[in-house]
Amino acid sequence: MTHPAIRTGSVAVITGGASGIGRAAALKFAATGMRLAIVDRDEDKLDGVKTELNAAGAAEVMVAPVDVSDREQLETFEAEVTDRFGGADILMNNAGIGRGSSCLGPLDDWDALLGVNLWGPIHGTQVFAPGMVARGRPGAIINTGSKQGITTPPGNPAYNVSKAGLKAFTEALAHELRSTEGCAITAHLLIPGFVFTGITGVSEKPAAAWTAEQTVDFFLASMNRGDFYILCPDNDVPRALDEKRMAWAVGDIIENRPPLSRWHPDYAEAFADFIRDDD
């Protein structure tokens, strides 16, 4: 089966669509003959991706430089999409940034990460979703999360908070959409593994990483099955290991362990035994 919103002539809006996972998804949608509306803060890449999408078979393509942390910019773009295409069928809130942070560190780091990674998808959803629902057509909203929003490892709390917040938002969104009479919009949380994109900060693909194209192929297959949680493996971490890491994280609450006990020296042996069990 294919998700009913993925069809010739449908309209897909993708934020952060000029590179990485967003670009790979746009190329897949273009091959289906869809109409694409791409935004990105990197203006230099937008013209290039527009050419690529036209060559890949997109029915029509529009691009615009948009900062998703600025709601007014998204509202302007939504009006342009509605004027040209009649509205959106797929919204992929994919734009994201990575930068360091600490709990007691500079506010600028928190503002930047939360602005793009959390407020960006919230703005995008609130700006585009009402029109999507009103169209009465099958549609989908895909939010790009992170495993760090589930296991919240030490080292970058602002990033973790942004992705944990996005998980909670997307779960609530799915519930609201399925509880809305006549709504044909589904919601999905894309949880990539280690993916070779610009955010990794390296010039050559590490052996452990998937390509953006592999991630999108997995994501589309999962979406077509109706999955909400699209938990992607990579070349280093299989799903079974992800599941155990996530189960241990929840176990901190159930077992009354210290927070982030996976990284606590007193629990190192217990965690190793937990991972080995049933392997």
Which amino acid, residue 91? L
In angstroms, the CA 157 to CA 155 distance is 6
pLDDT value of residue 203: 80
- Residues facing 62 on adjacent strands: 37
Give this prediction's pTM: 0.96
Q: Tell me which of 159, 210, 218, 219 is the catalytic residue.
A: 159
pLDDT value of residue 279: 52
Which residues of the chain register pLDDT less than 70? 278-279
Tell me the residue length of the chain.
279
In angstroms, the CA 162 to CA 114 distance is 5
Distances (CA, A) of 266 to 77, 206, 272: 52, 32, 12
In angstroms, the CA 60 to CA 50 distance is 9
Phi-psi region of 9 (alpha: psi -120 to 50; beta: other; left: phi over 0): left
pLDDT value of residue 102: 97
Neighbours of 104 (CB within 10 A): 6
Domain with CATH 3.40.50.720 in the chain: 11-236
In angstroms, the CA 279 to CA 276 distance is 5
Tokens of 143: 């939010």
The DSSP letter of residue 105 is S
CB 148 within 8 A of CB 160: yes
**Any catalytic annotation for residue 267?**
no
Tokens of 114: 């939360």
pLDDT value of residue 200: 75
Which amino acid, residue 43? E
In angstroms, the CA 64 to CA 53 distance is 14
The SS3 assignment for 90 reads: strand
CB 26 within 8 A of CB 219: no
Residues contacting 63, CB < 8 A, separation 6+: 17, 18, 37, 38, 39, 40, 46, 47, 49, 50
Residue keyed to tokens 């992170």? 146
- CATH code for the structural domain at 11-236: 3.40.50.720
In angstroms, the CA 279 to CA 268 distance is 18
